[in-house]
Amino acid sequence: MKSWHVMLIPYPAQGHVIPLMELALHLVNYGCKVTFVNTQFIHERVIKALSLTDNIQEIIQMVSIPDGLESPDDRSDLGKEIESVSAVMPGELMALIAQINSSESDRITCLIADVTMGGALEVAEKMGIKKVAFWPAAATLFALLFKVPNLIDDGIIDSDGIPMQNQIIQFSPDMPAINTAELSWNCISGELTAKIVFKLGIQILKWVKPADRVICNSSNWLESGTFASFPDFIPIGPLLACNRLGKSVGNFWKEDSGCLAWLDQQPPNSVIYVAFGSYTIFDQNQFEELAIGLELTNRPFLWVVRENIIDDVNNAYPMGFNERVHHRGRVVSWAPQQKVLSHPSVACFISHCGWNSTIEGISNGIPFLCWPYFADQLFNRSYICDYLKIGLGFNKDDSGIIRREEIKNKLEQLLGDERFKERVLDLKTKIQDSVREGGSSYENFNDFVAWIKN
């Protein structure tokens, strides 16, 4: 009997691992054997975060390769991480594939790599394996990369990706506009890191060229103009646990499922869900303003506070805050986000606007209050607020702080206008239809699997 063995390799970050692991589980459901390759550091985190009831390792072969970094501090330096992983990964991956392929019945037949790990596609090319590039963010930002040479030629950005002036660019009337101040590689702290990320973007263009397929974690309903202008991009998303009736996978932190019972006790459409992903960091002043802002809303809230979101997290809350809000506020270190967003008590989502959170919120019909931190999150905020019109952004004061009154006022504005909810519910219906039998993402995925097996 013919065996289809697919290898997947994500970039070593939470927002990249989760959608590719979702894809892995979808492939398993379609009869493929899957090997999932994380860096050793990320592999250990994912395994540690699994609950005792998770059987993921029985379904997927989880393996690891080194990232070439010496210390955890190096892994918090995005520029260092990109350079090290790009240098070390191809050789390690080639050795791993050769080892697996030594068993004739178990050979890798297709490799799917996050575009930021595009060196893996070169390895697949050398070894005669089908190769697929996976784009985990908004497809519009992938399209932007392909337009970089034009942007340089037109004098919109320089050869390091820095905008020559602030302006709005739009590649077609049906695509979202992009502010040059929000180009993802420039929305990263540190000039050197920004240059490394831009250079990676240029490298991605070269890596992707020989790919047999380019698949995106998006939907035709979300980015129809982009997919019409870039027909080689294949939308197969949103890749969500609810679409395969399973638990979410690939988390780096243990989920606190106790918050679901707490949500059961709250009135319908009442809870503010607050979560900022895996990278966002707060200083003491901003953390306190957020806490008091949530208190001022007089609404129930579920707030995800990672242990590393602020220095000395246990002593970061305003004096008496926990006592004053204990009857209507719940704080957890990590939440089962897709289950939270699908809960009928949740009214809105204060989000960092990572792409996974964006499509999870939309897929559950939840309007947004947008609080981006870096990279593509600033574009996603504009996309949510200005293009889809399903959320509002916060304004910072002259010192760069989002104040408590701003939080309270924007929440009242969002929940006081039914049009935000109506628009996001309409999108929810269309996106759900796209992943069901006969829908565009469903059919694209079926065609993709048929190609793998051909």
pLDDT tens, residue by residue, 200-259: 999 999 999 999 999 999 999 999 999 999 999 999 999 987 765 556 777 777 888 999
Q: How far apart are CA 264 and CA 241, in angstroms?
A: 21
CATH topology for the 5-237+435-453 domain: Rossmann fold (3.40.50)
Q: How far, in Å, are 142, 220, 306, 362, 405 from residue 338 at the CA level?
A: 25, 21, 17, 11, 29
Instruction: Quote the CA–CA distance of 6 and 359 in Å, as a whole number.
Output: 25
The pLDDT value given to residue 122? 96
- The rounded percent of the chain whose pLDDT value lies above 90 is 84
> Tell me, what's the pLDDT at 249?
77
In the numeric block, which tokens belong to residue 339? 């289950």
- Specify the pLDDT at position 245: 57
Mean pLDDT confidence for 22-27? 96
Please state the CATH superfamily assignment of the domain spanning residues 258-431 in this structure: Glycogen Phosphorylase B; (3.40.50.2000)
- State the average pLDDT over residues 123-145: 97
**Distance, C-alpha 224 to centroid of its chain:** 19
Question: Looking at residue 244, what is its pLDDT?
Answer: 58
Q: Is the pLDDT reported for residue 55 higher than 80?
A: no
Average pLDDT value for the chain: 94
With CA atoms as reference, report the closest residue to 423 among 345, 343, 362, 341.
362
Q: How far apart are CA 201 and CA 10, in angstroms?
A: 16
Note the pLDDT tens digit of each residue in 148-204. Answer: 999 999 999 999 999 998 999 999 999 999 999 999 999 998 889 999 999 999 999
Answer yes or no: same fold for 5-237+435-453 and 258-431.
yes
Q: How many CB atoms lie within 10 A of CB 104?
A: 6
Structural domain boundaries in the chain: 5-237+435-453, 258-431
Indicate the SS3 state at residue 247. Answer: coil
Whether 53 has a pLDDT exceeding 70, the answer reads no
State in Å, rounded, how far the first CA of the chain is from the last one: 14
Strand partners for 272 = 301, 348
**Distance separating alpha carbons of residues 172 and 184, to the nearest angstrom:** 19
Tell the burial category of 245 from Cβ atoms under 10 Å away from its Cβ (0-12, 13-18, 19+): exposed
What is the pLDDT, as a whole number, of residue 286?
Answer: 98
